[in-house]
Chain A
């Protein structure tokens, strides 16, 4: 089980819908990967309606994070290793 608080994140959008987050990633980032619900990013299992879009921008990973009372947040976290892992997964698809 992961805790998003352990990450040094920036909130790009707050209290959004899953659709808004997907559309934001597709329209603001030229690079993205679609993942299934439950896919682990950092130490967090992603929640959402598939396909869940995850953005990549250099060393930054942009992903949705859902809380029952606060909707979905779009978080941006700098982590070269995780960005490289996701790029490798995308290449392997």
Chain B
């Protein structure tokens, strides 16, 4: 299966539940850095997570395509589409399930962003191949931003 043809390099950002505040901030930051590195970012989340981003960026300075998470899983599973990079936001057990699913169905290079109060426990449960980017960040996105900058997944 070929990667998405809209651009030479694509990155799928799989959002988790938006109840932890850093997610929306980090997603916009990551989109910005990915765009600077010539990636086309695509957002996949549930309605609440997607709407938080869409409302925050009404003129679409950062956002491009925003899609429903179930639709993204269906398209990748049915081999209608795939991506070069995949970033999965994880702060709960469901996040691990989505990341494991992406590891199984997509050929994208997988990065997991682990944050929240239980980031150490969650990181320890991840045994599938991926690059872990983890920090104890709930309200303040800077600890997670710092680790992202160190890993520089847009350049890897």
Contact = CB atoms under 8 A, between A and B. Distances in A.
Interface of B: 15-19, 45-46, 48-49, 68-71, 73-74, 76-77, 92-98, 100-101, 103-105, 128
A58 interface: no
B105 A37 contact: yes
A72 B97 contact: yes
Interface residues of A, number: 20
B107 to A, nearest CB: 13
Interface of A: 1-2, 17-18, 36-38, 40, 45, 47-50, 66-72
Contacts of A49: 96-97, 100, 128
Nearest to A68: B17
Nearest to A46: B101
A68 B69 CA distance: 9
B93 A47 contact: no
A37 B104 CA distance: 6
15 contacts: A1-B71, A37-B103, A38-B101, A38-B104, A47-B73, A50-B104, A66-B97, A67-B94, A69-B17, A69-B19, A69-B46, A71-B93, A71-B94, A72-B94, A72-B97
Contact of A68 (B45, B77, B105): B45
A52 to B, nearest CB: 9
Given A37-B104, A37-B105, A68 B49 contact: yes
A45 B75 CA distance: 10
Residue of A2, A17, A50, A68 ringed by the most chain B CB atoms within 10 A: A68
B12 to A, nearest CB: 15
B64 to A, nearest CB: 21
A76 to B, nearest CB: 19
A71 B104 contact: no
